[in-house]
């Protein structure tokens, strides 16, 4: 049952006076539950509890953390229809998407469980002593990754399950040994509370320390600001707009002790279609891209908002084909009236720029909160000169840039802001001719895709979801995949420490049987 209250550790609490409701965009009406925003005192309590819990949780074994994470996954599945129905009522997204995202969330939790149960992720590195070394003896030094401390996770509007309460950031932080305080996303506060209840149940069942997890309601920016400013918070995970992410980054940078903010923000995800591919298959490409642009009403951070080609009859054909394909797709609702409003106003701003031409626009009347898709086109020169056109329009919006030449294409790519992804569509081995463009693209993105679409982010060890600013605030880390655990840890060395007092990961006997680097060689062997 959804109470509308906060979880301060395992205690349900609602001492504040500020309330709000979530909204059903399909029905165009508010949902019933009243949510109470967390007060300053509740925030302080949650952080103090997390800080206290950290003392114990930081050294809990990988196997125990794995049990906790797997139990969270079980408890989320046990929420069954209540979760799916709440999700749909708070997002307007269809049941299939809800179930798919739940599957992804559970998969992520189980992946991190597997990672920490196995244990090699701590990158244990051992250099044994050389007492006879001249001129000075060499000490025994052993390193592993240890958790940073309490982490604040901001729920993402567009992933109420996979990147919110028990999403990738939370799963990675809990796996690393960091307690988590979630600033719940106001648009899906009910979904968030249900998932929070699953985490709290799992924490109780597996005897985790009180305060290892809290869930705070919030309808504005204050709760988040107070959390990020709190001296006992040691890191922040965020998925959302550039404005929001940058504000948190700036706040964290101004603290007496600055802390890392890992924000995954906006991206237009450029797609380059090279001439031979255009010649060979502009129709099927137009079809593929019409679907990718409108997938989930364009509400994916990897949505392809920018398509680039070299001016030609084929590019014009592709653009017209894309336009005629896209207007045939039925619009769907966006997550919230505020998101529809932002889409409309960003679209309007883009369309007001001189030189941007509408090629296809869904013009039939639609239900309230539905997004109408649009395809536009612009000359390369105009695009180069007007950076307003480089900005993301979050929603089913796409722009085809007609470059005068390969050189202009390269120049445009090299001047783009940082992006999550870049895609290259190419046939008949024409890629090597465009090496400078591809090199420039690599320097601007976190992932490049060959002959595919950027939407669809695989959860696997080789995935990079992040990229140069403003795609993310720290391109040195990924937000998706098991390596995202590295955001929440730091390396730590023991020098000449007694073997029996070392953590198991570093003991001579290698009791966990993990892979370690010992004197420069990877091995699972013990140390004689």
Contact residues for a second copy (CB under 8 A)? Answer: 55, 58-59, 125-127, 136, 138-139, 141-143, 146, 148-149, 249-250, 253, 257-258, 260, 418, 431-432, 439, 442-443, 446-452, 456, 458, 460-464, 466, 468-470, 473-478, 483, 486-487, 489-498, 501, 515, 517, 520, 522
Residue 99, classified by CB atoms within 10 Å of its CB into exposed (0-12), middle (13-18) or buried (19+), is middle
Residue 493 and residue 499: Cα distance in Å, rounded?
Answer: 13
In angstroms, what is the minimal distance from the CB of 142 to a second copy? Answer: 6
Of 257 and 363, CB closest to a second copy: 257
In angstroms, what is the minimal distance from the CB of 450 to a second copy? Answer: 5
Of 107 and 324, CB closest to a second copy: 107
Between helix 168-176 and helix 95-118 the angle, nearest 10°, is 20
Quote the tokens at residue 497.
């420490």
Of 376 and 472, CB closest to a second copy: 472
3-state DSSP assignment of residue 409: helix
Of 257 and 365, CB closest to a second copy: 257
As a residue count, the chain comes to 528
Which residue from 453, 110, 498, 467 is spatially nearest to 272, judged by alpha carbons? 453
In angstroms, what is the minimal distance from the CB of 428 to a second copy? Answer: 12
In angstroms, what is the minimal distance from the CB of 514 to a second copy? Answer: 12
In angstroms, what is the minimal distance from the CB of 232 to a second copy? Answer: 12
Residue 525 and residue 345: Cα distance in Å, rounded?
Answer: 61
Q: Which of 301, 314, 392, 403 is catalytic?
A: 301
- Is the distance from CB of 290 to CB of 254 less than 8 angstroms? no
Handedness of CA 511, 517, 520, 525 (dihedral sign): positive
In angstroms, what is the minimal distance from the CB of 432 to a second copy? Answer: 7
Type and span of the H or E element at 464: none
- Please confirm, yes or no, whether 118 is among the known catalytic residues: no
Of 18 and 276, CB closest to a second copy: 276
- Please confirm, yes or no, whether 301 is among the known catalytic residues: yes
Residue 157 and residue 144: Cα distance in Å, rounded?
Answer: 35
Q: What is the dihedral of CA 256, 168, 83, 11, to 10 degrees?
A: -40
Of 366 and 448, CB closest to a second copy: 448
HEC profile for 174-212?
HHHCCCEEEECCHHHHHHHHHHHHHHHHHHHHCCCCCCC
3-state DSSP assignment of residue 335: coil
In angstroms, what is the minimal distance from the CB of 74 to a second copy? Answer: 23
Residue 95 and residue 99: Cα distance in Å, rounded?
Answer: 6
Of 113 and 198, CB closest to a second copy: 113
DSSP string, 336-392: -HHHHHHHHHHHHHHHTSTT-EEEEE--S---TTEEPPEEEEEEHHHHHH-GGGGS-
Of 25 and 466, CB closest to a second copy: 466
3-state DSSP assignment of residue 10: coil
- Is the distance from CB of 9 to CB of 216 less than 8 angstroms? no
Residue 463 and residue 484: Cα distance in Å, rounded?
Answer: 10
Q: Which of 75, 101, 264, 321 is catalytic?
A: 264
Of 368 and 450, CB closest to a second copy: 450
In angstroms, what is the minimal distance from the CB of 311 to a second copy? Answer: 25
Point out which residues pair with 146 in neighbouring strands. Answer: 490
Residue 502, classified by CB atoms within 10 Å of its CB into exposed (0-12), middle (13-18) or buried (19+), is middle
In angstroms, what is the minimal distance from the CB of 357 to a second copy? Answer: 29
Positions annotated as catalytic residues are 264, 301
């Amino acid at each position: 049952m959804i109470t509308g209250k906060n979880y301060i550790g395992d205690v349900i609490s609602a001492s504040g006076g500020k309330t709000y409701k979530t909204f059903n965009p399909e029905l165009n009406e508010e949902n019933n539950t009243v949510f109470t925003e967390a007060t300053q005192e509740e925030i302080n309590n949650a952080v103090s509890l997390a800080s206290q819990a950290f003392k114990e949780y930081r050294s809990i074994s990988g196997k125990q953390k794995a049990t906790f994470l797997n139990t969270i996954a079980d408890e989320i599945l046990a929420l069954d229809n209540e979760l799916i129905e709440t999700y749909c009522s708070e997002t307007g997204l269809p049941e299939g998407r809800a179930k798919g995202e739940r599957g992804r969330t559970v998969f992520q939790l189980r992946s991190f469980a597997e990672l920490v149960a196995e244990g090699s992720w701590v990158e244990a590195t051992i250099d044994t002593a050389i007492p006879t070394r001249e001129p000075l003896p060499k000490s025994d030094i052993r390193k592993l990754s240890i958790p940073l401390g309490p982490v604040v996770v901001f729920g993402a509007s567009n992933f109420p399950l996979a990147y919110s309460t028990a999403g990738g950031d939370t799963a990675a932080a809990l796996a690393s040994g960091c307690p988590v305080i979630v600033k719940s996303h106001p648009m899906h506060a009910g979904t968030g509370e249900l998932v929070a209840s699953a985490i709290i149940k799992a924490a109780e069942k597996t005897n985790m320390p009180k305060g290892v997890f809290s869930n705070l309601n919030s309808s504005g920016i204050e709760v988040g600001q107070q959390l990020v400013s709190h001296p006992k918070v040691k890191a922040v995970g965020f998925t959302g707009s550039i404005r929001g992410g940058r504000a948190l980054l700036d706040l964290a940078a101004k603290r007496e002790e600055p802390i890392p903010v890992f924000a995954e923000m906006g991206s237009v995800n450029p797609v380059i279609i090279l001439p031979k591919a255009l010649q060979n298959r502009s129709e099927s490409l137009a079809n593929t891209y019409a679907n990718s642009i409108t997938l989930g009403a364009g509400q994916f951070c990897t949505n392809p908002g920018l398509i680039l080609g070299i001016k030609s009859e084929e590019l014009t054909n592709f653009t017209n084909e894309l336009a005629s394909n896209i207007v045939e797709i039925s619009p769907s609702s966006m997550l919230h009236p505020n998101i529809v409003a932002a889409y409309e106003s960003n679209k309007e701003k883009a369309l007001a720029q001189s030189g941007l031409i509408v090629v296809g626009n869904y013009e039939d009347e639609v239900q309230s909160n539905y997004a109408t898709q649009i395809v536009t086109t612009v000359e390369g020169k105009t695009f180069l000169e007007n950076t307003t056109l480089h900005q993301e329009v979050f929603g089913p919006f796409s722009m085809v840039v007609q470059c005068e030449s390969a050189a202009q294409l390269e120049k445009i790519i090299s001047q783009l802001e940082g992006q999550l992804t870049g895609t290259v569509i190419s046939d008949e081995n024409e890629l090597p001719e465009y090496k400078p463009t591809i090199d420039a693209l690599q320097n601007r993105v976190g992932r490049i895709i060959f002959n595919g679409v950027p939407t669809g982010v695989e959860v696997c060890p080789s995935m990079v979801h992040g990229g140069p600013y403003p795609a993310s605030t720290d391109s040195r880390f990924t937000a998706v995949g098991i390596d995202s655990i590295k955001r929440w840890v730091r390396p730590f060395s023991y020098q000449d420490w007694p073997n029996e007092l070392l953590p198991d990961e570093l003991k001579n006997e290698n009791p966990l049987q993990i892979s370690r680097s010992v004197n420069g060689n990877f091995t699972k062997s013990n140390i004689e």
